[in-house]
Amino acid sequence: MDPIDLVSRWNAWCVTGSPNQIDDTLTRLDAGLPGGWQRLTEEQVRERHLDRFQGPLSARRPVWYATNSPSNHGGANVSLDRIRDTDLRGGLVLFNGPAYPVITPQSAGEWDRIVGFLEGSIIPAARAAGANPKAPTPEEIFLDQLPSSVGDALRRFSRGARKVLPLNAMETESWNGFVIAAFRSRAIIDSRLLVEWLVVDGWKRDAAESLDSQLSEQCLLLSRFAEEVLAV
C-alpha cells in the first residue's frame, strides 16, 4: 500500500461504544500487544516529552504506544486519542531519532507496522469488546472526500459498466454524467486514487488509466468551452 494511503487509514479510523466498551478495548489491546510494541507508562511519556501533546478538547489523556527499532530512524510513538469517553481515534504519530518528514523511505516501513497494529490489534480488540470499529479503506476515503454528486455519479457509472473499453452508448452517457458532475463541482480528483478505486471496483489497470486520461482531457475541453462562452 502506498505510504500516503497508510497515513490516510490511520487518520480515518475510529472506535465508538459505551465508556465500558472503550475501556475494555484498551484492556484487551494491552493484553494482546504484538511483538515489538509496548504501551508507554506515564513516566515514559514524560521522558519522551509526549505529555505536552495532551489535546485540550480530549476527555482523557492520550494513550501512547511505541514500536521498538534498532535503527537511528526507526521506532515510532503512536497515540490513541479519546476525544469523548465513547470515542477512540488515531492520534499523533511521532518518529524517534533525528527529525524527518512524515513520509520518507525510512518511515514507510514504520507506517506498515502502524497500520498493521490497527488492523491486527486495535480493530480485533474493539470487536471483542463489543464496540463499533470503523477503518475505511483508501478507496472508501477517496469517495468520501468527493462531493456527494460526484461520488454518486462515479459509483453509478462503474456499477452499470461491463468493466471493459471501449464504452458502449449507455456507459458513455453515464461516464459523461460523471465528468460533467466533476466539472460543475470543480472537484479535485487525484488521478492515482481514481485509478486505484476503479481497479478495486473491477476494472483492469490499463482501462482505469485510460479512463483517468479521458477525465482530464474532457474536463479540459469543458473548461475551454466555458471560457469561450463567457468571452462572447
Say how far apart CA 50 and CA 32 lie, in whole Å: 24
Residues near 40 by Cβ (< 8 Å), separated by ≥ 6?
48, 50, 64, 65, 66, 77
Work out the percent of the chain whose per-residue pLDDT is above 70: 88
- Per-residue pLDDT, 33: 96
Question: Which of 36-45, 47-56, 119-128, 135-144 is predicted least confidently?
Answer: 47-56
Report how many domains make up the chain.
2
Give 10-31 pLDDT, tens digit per residue.
999 999 999 999 999 999 999 9
Within 8 A by CB and 6+ apart from 176, the residues are 218
pLDDT at 162 over 60: yes
Domain shared by 107 and 157, yes or no: no
195 and 211 share a domain?
yes
User: Does residue 105 share a domain with residue 27?
Assistant: yes
What mean pLDDT do residues 46-71 have? 76
Provide the CB-side half-sphere exposure for 113 (13 A, CA).
23
Residue 54 has pLDDT above 80, yes or no: no
| 95 shares a domain with 163 | no
- Distance from C-alpha of 89 to C-alpha of 26, rounded to nearest angstrom: 12
pLDDT averaged over every residue in the chain: 89
- Residue 72 pLDDT greater than 50, yes or no: no
Higher per-residue confidence, 104 vs 204 = 204
Quote the pLDDT of residue 39. Answer: 96
| pLDDT tens digits, 174-224 | 999 999 999 999 999 999 999 999 999 999 999 999 999 999 999 999 998
Q: Do 38 and 123 reside in the same domain of the chain?
A: yes
Is 68 within 8 Å of 38 (Cβ atoms)? yes
Q: Could you tell me if 30 and 58 lie in one domain?
A: yes
Mean of pLDDT values over 58-72: 74
Q: How confident is the model at residue 102 (pLDDT cuts 50, 70, 90)?
A: low
Q: Is the dihedral of CA 212, 6, 20, 48 positive or negative?
A: negative
Same domain (yes/no): 113, 207: no
Question: Residue 58's pLDDT is what?
Answer: 57
Same domain, 83 and 45: yes
Q: How far apart are CA 15 and CA 22, in angstroms?
A: 8
Among candidate residues 83, 111, 136, the one where a domain is terminated? 136
Could you say which of 136, 155, 177 is where a domain stops? 136
pLDDT confidence of residue 51: 85
At which of 87, 109, 136 does a domain end?
A: 136
Residue 34 lies in domain: 3-136
Same domain, 68 and 177: no
